[in-house]
Amino acid sequence: MPKDLGGFIRLLEDRYSDHIFHVQKEIEPEFGVTRIISSLEKEGQYPVVVFDKIKGSDIPLVINMHADFRRLALALDLDPDATIEEFTEVYGSREERPVAPVLCEDAPCHEVVITGDDVDLGILPILKYHERDAGRYVTGGYSIMKDPDSGVRNAGIYRLMVQGKDRLGIQISETAHGNYIMKKYRLRGETMEFAVSIGHHPAFNLGALSFTPFEVDEFEMAGAMMGEPLRVVRCRTVDAEVPADTEIVLECEMHPDEFSPEAPFGEYPGTYGPLRNNPVVRVKAITMRAKPIYQSMFVGHPDNLLLSGVTRNSQILRTVRIASPTVRAVNMPISGRCRFICYVAMKNLIEGDGKNVAMAAFAADSFLKYVIVVDDDVNIMKDAEVLHAIATRVRADHDVFMVTGSRGSPLDPASYDPGKGSHLVTKMGIDATRKANYPEEIRVPGVDSVDLSAYLVPSVQR
């Protein structure tokens, strides 16, 4: 059986049932789902939740698939307790061995085909997420388009706002390949045909978001992560190929001169993205499985943050290892929205390497604002350990450097002019490794060889 979303959900139900819940009650599409996921989040819980019935739609909805790192490890067939270090090594080495997709004729995603006047986005359980969102949004769809010069395929998630029964608004940020491709069509005065694929195995989702160069087809990365060639099929009404085993497909076109206001929308930094005059998308066909599941992703929450973060770590790791081969691991913690802060663990053998490593991380990922380099023995999955290193190993005038006026995220709420979407930010690197003459650290001899059960008795048994 080829990998797909339903198969992964069954794996969770069979073997990891504490990772998945169903909501059987009918739920409102506007804030009904996000209220439940947010309140789970307040309790520190991040299960997958399947909503069997969203008001107005007959299609079930799944959300929060990527909100727990253990499921991302499972998606790559790793132990769910794998460390971020192991995950990044595997992800990075698979990226270096692309797996070409295979074209097939019959596809589950073509079991139902709706075209022309029958197209109605209202059949899908499309949600409204945050209070001031401008409308309902498709947040978990991969837009698949072709570069008009080279024909190379590109895939990325760009949010889609419902603006009519067959009409969507789209936000493709300037940092995405998709933006270059869209502009190439616009400059030629041509309509861009593309397709949106909604709902696949999380290994597809991880691979298709790989931080690849422009010339690389993300479908090859998806195949590399899935450990099998991605099965693709030609769309019915547009010139695009989509994953055959996806749940739902929107076949779309974008005219070069049609725009309309889009946003506000609750964005990944935890603030609203500004209203813009964005391109309009026309939906020519909806195709799907006979019994599809609609996948939603909760932007600004771990479902989105972790997926966006872990897919960038391998690129950062490769680059910082050019600066120093002694780097063990990198991690973009959730406290930094998996985007703004990067921790790097390394053996600091050569004076100055800590700062060079921080500079390399900034070069690898333009969204980074704080890079904190620590010694090899610090657990960079734990913010508290990194803060301890900063508190005890940093002399700010020596070990911190700042770069003003550099390029960051246009959504950074602390940019030089966030209201106007400025991408200019100040970056700070911190070398929090132990320096020469660092005093000896306290340690209890023999601590690693104590068998606690030989000594401790629960107090009720006394």
Catalog residues that contact ligand FMN under the rule CB under 6 A.
139, 154, 156-159, 171-173, 176-178, 209, 297, 299, 304, 307-308
Query: CA–CA separation, 194 vs 253, rounded Å?
Result: 6
Give 366 or 406: the residue with its C-beta nearer to ligand FMN: 366
CA-angle at 456, arms to 450 and 460, nearest 5°: 165
Tokens of 158: 């760009």
Q: Which is nearer to ligand FMN, 324 or 409 (CB)?
A: 409
Nearer to ligand FMN, 166 or 217 (CB): 217
> Closest approach of Cβ 436 to ligand FMN, in Å?
41
Under rule CB under 5 A, residue 301 binds Mn ion: no
| CB 152, min distance to Mn ion, A | 9
Q: Which helix (H) or strand (E) holds 373?
A: strand 370-375
Q: Which of Mn ion, ligand FMN, none does residue 33 bind (CB under 5 to 8 Å by kind)?
A: none
Identity of the residue, 129 or 158, whose beta carbon is nearer to Mn ion in the bound complex: 158
Q: How far is the CB of 145 from ligand FMN (least distance, A)?
A: 9
Q: Segment 244-263, which members bind Mn ion (CB under 5 A)?
A: none
154 binds Mn ion (CB under 5 A): yes
3-state secondary structure of 261: strand
Nearest distance, CB of residue 304 and Mn ion, angstroms? 18
Q: Which is nearer to ligand FMN, 264 or 388 (CB)?
A: 264
Q: What's the CA gap between 95 and 331, in Å, rounded?
A: 18
Q: Residue with CB nearest ligand FMN?
A: 156
Shortest distance (Å) from residue 214 CB to Mn ion: 6
* Residue 307 CB, nearest approach to ligand FMN (Å): 4
Q: How far apart are CA 83 and CA 87, in angstroms?
A: 6
Q: Which two tokens stand for residue 246?
A: 């996806």
Min dist. Cβ of residue 204 to Mn ion (A):
15
Of the pair 46, 158, the CB lying nearest Mn ion is at: 158
* The entry of ligand FMN, Mn ion, none that residue 157 binds, CB within 5 to 8 Å by partner kind: ligand FMN
CB atoms within 10 A of CB 187: 10
Give which of 147, 424, 123, 56 is closest to 283, Cα–Cα. 123
Q: Which stretch binds Mn ion (CB under 5 A): 137-145, 149-157, 273-281, 346-354?
A: 149-157
348-386 per-residue burial string, b: 16 or more CB within 10 A, e: under 16: beeeebbbbbbbbbbebbebbbbbbbbbeebebbebeeb
Count of residues that bind Mn ion according to CB under 5 A: 2
171's contact among Mn ion, ligand FMN, none, with CB below 5 to 8 A by partner kind, is ligand FMN
With b for 16 or more beta-carbon neighbours within 10 A and e for fewer, the 298-320 pattern comes to bbbbbbbbbbbbbbbbbbbbbbb
Measured from the CB atom, is 108 or 140 closer to ligand FMN? 140
Q: Considering only the stretches 95-103, 151-159, 160-168, 312-320, report the one whose residues sit in contact with Mn ion under the rule CB under 5 A.
A: 151-159
Please give the backbone phi and psi of residue 76, each rounded to the nearest 5 degrees, phi first: -95, 15
Which listed residue (71, 128, 146, 177) binds Mn ion by CB under 5 A? 177
Using the minimum distance from each CB to ligand FMN, give the nearer residue, 92 or 388: 92
* Residue number with CB closer to Mn ion (96 or 448): 96
Nearer to ligand FMN, 269 or 429 (CB): 269
- CA atoms of 191 and 286, how far apart (whole Å): 19
Closer residue to ligand FMN (CB): 172 or 238: 172
Which helix (H) or strand (E) segment holds residue 95: the answer is helix 84-95
Query: Which residue stretch of 79-87, 152-160, 268-276, 348-356 sits at the interface with Mn ion (rule: CB under 5 A)?
Result: 152-160
Q: Which residues pair with 243 in a beta bridge?
A: 232
CA 239 – CA 197 distance, rounded (Å)? 14
CA distances to 49, 88, 98, 234 from 223, rounded to whole Å, are: 26, 17, 7, 17
User: In angstroms, rounded to a whole number, what is the distance separating the alpha carbons of residues 77 and 205?
Assistant: 14
Question: How is residue 270 annotated by DSSP?
Answer: S
Select from ligand FMN, Mn ion, none the partner in contact with residue 381, using the beta carbon and a kind-dependent cut-off of 5 to 8 Å: none
348 binds, among ligand FMN, Mn ion, none (CB under 5 to 8 A by kind): none
Residue 57's binding partner, choosing from ligand FMN, Mn ion, none, with beta-carbon cut-off 5 to 8 A by kind? Answer: none
* Nearby residues of 388 by Cβ (< 8 Å), 6 or more positions away: 378
CA–CA distances in Å: residue 144 to residues 147, 148, 246: 10, 13, 13
Which partner from the list Mn ion, ligand FMN, none does 138 bind, CB cut-off 5 to 8 Å by kind? none
Q: How far apart are the first and last CA of the chain?
A: 56
Binding at 209: pick from Mn ion, ligand FMN, none (beta carbon under 5-8 Å per type) = ligand FMN
Contacting positions for Mn ion (CB under 5 A): 154, 177
